[in-house]
A and B are shown apart, each in its own frame.
Chain A
Amino acid sequence: MSTHATTRIVGASVPRKEGVDKLVGRACYIDDMEREGMWYGATVRSTIPRGLIGSIAFDRRIDWSEFTVVTAADIPGENIIQLIIADQPCLADGKVNHCEEPILLLAHHDKHKLREALGAVNVEYEPLPPIFTIEKSERQEQVVWGTDNLLKSFLLEKGDVDSAWARAAHVVEGEYRTGAQEHLYIENQGVIAEYSAEDGVTVWGSLQCPYYVFKALRGVFDLPDDKVRVIQTETGGAFGGKEDYPSVLASHAGLLAKKSGRPVKMIYDRMEDLAVTTKRHPARVRHRTALDKDGKLLAIQIDLDTDGGAYATLSSTVLSRATLHSTGPYLCPNVRVRARSWATNHVPYGAFRGFGAPQAIFAMERHMDEIATALGIDPVDLRRRNFLHEGDTNATEQLMREPIILDQLLDRALQESDYHAKRKQFARENAENSIKRGMGLVAFYHGSGFTGSGELYLNSLGGVDVTPEGEVRVLVSNTEFGQGTNTILTQIASEALGIEYSDVTMAAPDTDMVPNSGPTVASRTSMVVGHLIERACVQLISMLREQAGLGATHTREEFLAACERYRAAHGEVSSMCRYEAPPGIYWDDQKYHGEAYGAYAWAIYVAQVAVDTVTYSAEVENFWAVQEVGTVLHPVMAAGQIEGGIAQGIGYALYEKVVLADGRMTNNQMTNYIMPTAQDVPPIHVYFEEIPFRHGGYGAKGLGELPHDGPAPAILNAIRDATGVSFTAIPLLPEDLYAGLVASQPVEEPALP
């Protein structure tokens, strides 16, 4: 393993691999693609949140003989979208459990006729009472899933929480809530499907995980592996939103293609995309914390509950990550986390950058400031007193074997942001101004890769090959959707092979061409897949040296000549590696005990916020992000990831509200679901400290999700600093600020005459 002091390509900001195609308008996204004789597909959806499906009537003003109509009865395999728990039907059959649940599919060659026909299918229902809140679900006001509405629960315990309360000098409690959040990738969900008896089902689409879609199609169509093919097209943003949902859409388009005998394109428009696809899980987190007289943590008890929506989808794994991030980067001898995900009759919630961690970290880091206030300690000092250090154990009693430099990150953040001086200055100025400024600081970590034994189960396979045309290709199922997969993996390969960046390409993300190197999620690509590719390349060089006469040093031409000698002797030039867990890894999935993650990225974020007490708007004026993510493979793209994640985190805190009424999103337009614009994003100052991680690609850990974890609590901590008022729920819109600030004001005495 090298670090970038000794690397040529890793650590350099080379041009994005597919950058030119994107800049000249040539990159081919799914809606840019046509197939000969292609039809279009559309979906008839439930208009009620829960009930039994009665009759389905087709209006006679439409000539239905022109259309292909698919119902659950047309599904050749199992009517289930295979993911973790087999509970979500591909098409509703007899009952619906949420608004917008797909019931029936239509295809036609004319988009306009298709739209008209959608309104001419009349479904009659026998409604059943729905539930829409965590509270109603946990009270089992209605049982809408399983026997008790509980999609998943975890209990994490360390030490003895119960005996800690009596010894505590202070006990601080708090309840925190986070709302749903929409990914708002600018490219809506879309696929094209084809079906033939010889080739089975083929799907092209905007998606993150070709092999997740592959698994879903195999089940829905009851086909063997060699009759299912999934190809990712250029993908215009994902953020987790294209992790699980494309399996649904691909199955639908595939069914229409099979029945119509034609290629079928299904592209959601923005309103449909917002209304029907997954969002970030809303959460309610309750903290009870015991501290000694010096402000050291004695016990943390957390009850963390999420709204999972109508089907299980990824709620269990999102809950897992929330559980494992809920106690923050702090040392505490006694911990109990009770985490539960509850079914409701909302559209199912799913993966979104951070995957439960932003909800858990919002609660923990807001709570730390509440503790500081209650104890009369500076919030920075409180954190510093409780930081984890190398050799400590965290909440799952994972031994922290790698260096932890939280103190160094904190010092840097305080210095770069001029935190202490600014707080003093603002405290002075706020007294005389209607605009109140404040500084908020948070500390957090984010685990890289799948949780616990997850990477072992994934058993990822990836590698490189050299084609007879001399093309050196990276073979992985990991996909590019803006975050830089193509660039960093070809950087790693060209570095390790001793050739140029421009010599290496990515093989097409096509399940017929590339092995399953796991999904492109969980901040795992740089660390886990990057390391696989590095190993495969080192292995290829050894093979060429031992069996094809490659010298100790080589030029590009010598490398390619050795490849040809190897090909002549062995037929093909390919080097594949499987995931191997670092030694000494132990994880108990029942007790939630042991090595929760292979590595952690660490961060200190600081927000400077101005609250206008006339307009009740809050504006982030400046933002500092200091983090340690292992080796930075590509400085420009790494900073771009951090900045983009922070912008989404600012939206999560202050702008983005999914308005739900009777289980339906009512603001499903970009006009009224508001994300930060070019006018709203503050200057963002990004700093990296690098400690290479020996089991990551050239020392890299994960960084994609990290930046979404910190902004929301940093901003609300800054608002508390500015106004003295604690807000505990996001999104925090001007009306919420108004309500909180007005309620906190003392009632004025009427003036004496």
Chain B
Amino acid sequence: MSANGKVKANAHWPAIRFTVNGESRMVNVPPMKRLLDVLREDLHLTGTKEGCGEGECGSCSVRMDNELVNSCLVPVLQAEGAEIQTVEGLALDGELHPLQKAFLKNGGAQCGICTPGMLMAAAQLLAHSPHPDEVEIREGLAGNLCRCTGFIRIFESVAAAAGTSASAPAKEPVKEPEMEQTHHAR
């Protein structure tokens, strides 16, 4: 501890190494620190959100070694050597992921706070079941709460991304609004 009580990133804590969105990362933090807080505070990946802190809402969902986890329930020591994907890792080279395009087109995001977790749950679902039917989609998203949409447009978005619904998959890039940051983030 320093004089002002702040925990310093130093050798006091063992180094924990893992991969986030394809990039090798190392942190020196208390091993029981929540993966959620490490992502947000130490790695400044604030796309992953906290909704309840007890694994009920799924807002903090990330993919870890090809499993969907609630990052609020994962002590960072469990992430040693893991491959982690967060919402920031979905779009590639500025091109939105098919799920992101489908959410944009079909109204899958409203307030947006559950959206990162919902996208990760949907990505996990499609990784294991590329063409899910409605029952599978509902099961795949059952651990993620959305209070805005009533889920209907999220189901449609996932189905559209998978090309399993009547609505066409978002093949061509949706005409996107400004890619710049919102005024809040300026």
Contact = CB atoms under 8 A, between A and B. Distances in A.
B182 A27 contact: yes
A257 B9 CA distance: 27
A684 B150 contact: yes
Interface string A683-713: 1100000000000000000000000000000
A237 B113 contact: yes
B104 A236 contact: no
Interface stretch (B12-20, B44-52, B75-83): B44-52
B144 interface: yes
A675 B56 CA distance: 11
A675 B105 CA distance: 26
Contact of B54 (A31, A234, A669): A669
Interface residues of A, number: 71
A677 B145 CA distance: 6
Contacts of B11: none
Given A18-B182, A24-B87, A644 B148 contact: yes
A676 B141 CA distance: 12
Number of contact residues on B: which range applies? 35 or more
Interface string A656-681: 00000000000001110001111101
Contact of B52 (A16, A481, A669): A669
B183 A23 contact: no
B91 A28 contact: no
Given A24-B88, A639-B153, A670 B145 contact: yes
> Which of A23, A66, A636, A670: most chain B Cβ within 10 A?
A23
A475 B4 CA distance: 43
Given A237-B148, A508-B184, A677-B142, A640 B113 contact: no
A25 B46 CA distance: 7
A502 B150 CA distance: 28
Contacts of A66: 5
A269 interface: yes
Given A185-B111, A269-B53, A270-B52, A234 B148 contact: no
Contacts of A186: 49, 51, 57, 59, 111, 113-114, 145-147
Contacts of B59: 186
Contact of B110 (A20, A640, A677): A640
A636 B48 contact: no
Contacts of A142: none
Taking chain A's interface residues, is the majority helix, strand, or loop, or is none over half, making it mixed? Answer: loop
Contacts of B151: 643, 647, 677-678, 681
A238 B154 CA distance: 19
Given A186-B111, A186-B113, A640-B149, A25 B47 contact: yes
Contacts of A232: 184
A187 B138 contact: no
A145 to B, nearest CB: 32
Nearest to A184: B147
A17 B112 CA distance: 12
A644 B46 contact: no
Interface in A499-539: 501-502, 505-508
B43 to A, nearest CB: 12
A684 B177 CA distance: 29
17 contacts: A15-B176, A16-B177, A20-B96, A23-B87, A24-B87, A25-B48, A25-B86, A26-B47, A27-B185, A28-B184, A29-B49, A66-B5, A186-B113, A502-B177, A644-B148, A677-B151, A678-B138
Given A25-B48, A237-B113, A643-B149, 6 more contacts: A19-B103, A22-B115, A24-B90, A482-B148, A676-B150, A678-B151
Interface of A: 13-29, 31-32, 66, 109-110, 113, 183-188, 231-239, 269-270, 481-484, 501-502, 505-508, 636-637, 639-640, 643-648, 669-671, 675-679, 681, 683-684
